[in-house]
Chains A and B, each alone.
Chain A
Amino acid sequence: MKYLCLVYLARDKWDAVPDRECFSCGQGLRERGTLVAAEPLESVDTATTVRVRNGRVSITDGPFAETKEQLAGFYLIEAADLDAAIQVAAKIPPAREGSIEVRPVRELRP
């Protein structure tokens, strides 16, 4: 089963975790076959929100929701169950500075 681990960080913690630490975390997960994909994100200042209403595309500057902690990156992982996913999430370096939201991935119904 796939879980998406969403990394949230407060603005002032954005650079608190060195890149090389995140890199080696991803590397370790990949070697164990747990990692599907992982990417860090640019800051929310660079975000654009797209909506389609009545067939018209509307575009606004900024993230979907303004919150204290902002989405900073993600790890898409493969885990047997939630306990296994939580174990992986707890080892994601920014977990000690911000928070990791663990969400099960839903299968699209054909």
Chain B
Amino acid sequence: MSTNDSVHEVIDALYASESRRVLATLIRLLGDFDRAEEAVHEAFRAALEQWPREGVPSNPRAWLVSTGRFKAIDAMRRQARFDALDEGSHLAGLAVVDEHACEDAERVADDRLRLIFTCCHPALAPDAQVALTLREVCGLTTEAIAVAFLTPAPTLAQRIVRAKAKIRTARIPYRVPTPAELPERLSAVLRVIYLVFNEGYVASSGALLTRHDLSSEAIRLGRLLADLLPDHEVLGLLALMLLHESRRAARTTESGDLVLLEDQDRTAWNVAMIREGTALIERALATHRAGPYCIQAAIGAIHAAAPTMAETDWGEITALYDVLLGLEPSPVVELNRAVAVAMRDGPAAGLALVDALLARGDLDDYRFAHAARADLCRRLGLIDEARAAYARALALSRQDAERRFLERRLAELTTPHP
């Protein structure tokens, strides 16, 4: 292999590992997303030209940051010369930036946090937060995000452009929130990460195949955040995602059909992820400040530790759902609790709770509520009621594997039950 090839390999690897860090620092130094993105490209282009000749610098990231910054200032100077109205106000601000600012490891770590918090700022629309985080923090292309979210690429690009324009025009700050703001702002970040994960895991519509990259990105984001800001809920969310993800191989057949928890081959669960998730949740719970993600992860850890569905500690799971309801009352959590109660006390007890919930009307359009009711009726031998509930769930489901599962259950119920 020639030196040239190996330098190109180094640059490719650096692009994958460092371009988002370089971007995050350049946004701070240049005060503008678009300008910083252009600067990242210019910096890597310069590396491709210069490094084969001059060798790879000892601190490549610092080189990329200062080269990107230099190129951006240069471009702005040229622009200012053409644009007589520009008083060079941006340039004045840039000149006073501390030269060593880009070297300080702590500030660089903060830059990544700044980027996450700005992309997930509550003043941006929720779908824009998701798109911007995947684009800027994870470095996914607009096309890849569009495919994953089944959105036309121009729509997605427009969403990102509009969000960046709002950041600039309304002056959404590029900073880590103060301790007073942190709980609320952090929960917005965690919501975005979990939404990305679920989009890849539960996939609200369409085929499953293209989606699991989103779950990997969410876990990567979770790890990054746990590194930068090891808050108990950050650890809890990462644990929760890992414990879900550990079951991925077991929850669908090779043809992509859904396998319920009770029918899953537990030897196919990913042991390394379970171990990591369980250790994280133990660490989080040791802070005695468990939030909703911690509790959900703790429930996941009980499932992960159980050798079979029947040997699962449903009493403990029900108790954890009670804690969760106290923290964050929601009909969906009540539904999950009802399913746990059905496992602990039998399907009739569960059905009474599910029916009471459905009677309140909050879950009328929630497909999992009807699927849960259907399953409990089926287990109680209430075939007609089970059929009606499966049909209702099917009418609400837009996700292929789920639809096939529900159709299969309906077909099983047409033939007389053994």
Please state if B85 and A82 are interface contacts (CB–CB under 8 Å). no
Please report the C-alpha to C-alpha distance between residue A104 and residue B171 in the assembled complex, in whole angstroms: 8
Does B348 have its Cβ within 8 Å of any Cβ on chain A?
no
Question: Pick the contact of A81 from B171, B177, B181 — CB < 8 Å?
Answer: B171
- Chain A residues with CB under 8 A of B181: 83
Decide yes or no: A86 and B123 within 8 Å by CB, A109-B85, A110-B85 being known contacts.
yes
Please report the C-alpha to C-alpha distance between residue A83 and residue B169 in the assembled complex, in whole angstroms: 13
Does B209 have its Cβ within 8 Å of any Cβ on chain A?
no
**Chain A residues bordering chain B, tally (CB within 8 A):** 11
Chain A, residues 67-85, CB within 8 Å of chain B (1/0): the string is: 0000000000000111100
Does B170 have its Cβ within 8 Å of any Cβ on chain A?
yes
Residues of A53-110 contacting chain B, CB below 8 A: 80-83, 86, 102-104, 109-110
Please report the C-alpha to C-alpha distance between residue A81 and residue B170 in the assembled complex, in whole angstroms: 7
Please state if B170 and A83 are interface contacts (CB–CB under 8 Å). no
Chain B, residues 153-196, CB within 8 Å of chain A (1/0): the string is: 00000000000000001111100010001000000000000000
Does A1 have its Cβ within 8 Å of any Cβ on chain B?
yes
What is the minimal beta-carbon distance from B201 to any residue of chain A, in angstroms? 33
What is the minimal beta-carbon distance from B166 to any residue of chain A, in angstroms? 9
Please report the C-alpha to C-alpha distance between residue A92 and residue B124 in the assembled complex, in whole angstroms: 22
Closest to B177 in A: A83
What is the minimal beta-carbon distance from B169 to any residue of chain A, in angstroms? 6
Question: Pick the contact of B173 from A82, A102, A103, A110 — CB < 8 Å?
Answer: A82
What is the minimal beta-carbon distance from A105 to any residue of chain B, in angstroms? 10
Question: Pick the contact of A1 from B85, B123, B171, B177 — CB < 8 Å?
Answer: B171
Please report the C-alpha to C-alpha distance between residue A103 and residue B166 in the assembled complex, in whole angstroms: 11
Please report the C-alpha to C-alpha distance between residue A109 and residue B123 in the assembled complex, in whole angstroms: 26
Please report the C-alpha to C-alpha distance between residue A102 and residue B170 in the assembled complex, in whole angstroms: 9
Please report the C-alpha to C-alpha distance between residue A80 and residue B177 in the assembled complex, in whole angstroms: 14
Please report the C-alpha to C-alpha distance between residue A77 and residue B123 in the assembled complex, in whole angstroms: 18
- Chain B residues with CB under 8 A of A1: 171
- Chain A residues with CB under 8 A of B171: 1, 80-82, 104
What is the minimal beta-carbon distance from A99 to any residue of chain B, in angstroms? 14
Closest to B123 in A: A82
Please report the C-alpha to C-alpha distance between residue A12 and residue B181 in the assembled complex, in whole angstroms: 33
Return 21 A-B CB contacts under 8 Å, by A number: A1-B171, A80-B171, A80-B173, A81-B171, A81-B172, A81-B173, A82-B121, A82-B123, A82-B170, A82-B172, A83-B172, A83-B173, A83-B177, A83-B181, A86-B123, A102-B170, A103-B170, A104-B169, A104-B171, A109-B85, A110-B85
Binding site for A on B (CB under 8 A): 85, 121, 123, 169-173, 177, 181
User: What 19 additional pairs, Cβ within 8 angstroms, besides A82-B170, A83-B173, A104-B171?
Assistant: A1-B171, A80-B171, A80-B173, A81-B171, A81-B172, A81-B173, A82-B121, A82-B123, A82-B171, A82-B172, A82-B173, A83-B172, A83-B177, A83-B181, A86-B123, A103-B170, A104-B169, A109-B85, A110-B85
Binding site for B on A (CB under 8 A): 1, 80-83, 86, 102-104, 109-110
Which 6 A/B pairs are nearest by Cβ-Cβ distance?
A81-B173, A81-B171, A104-B170, A82-B172, A82-B170, A83-B173
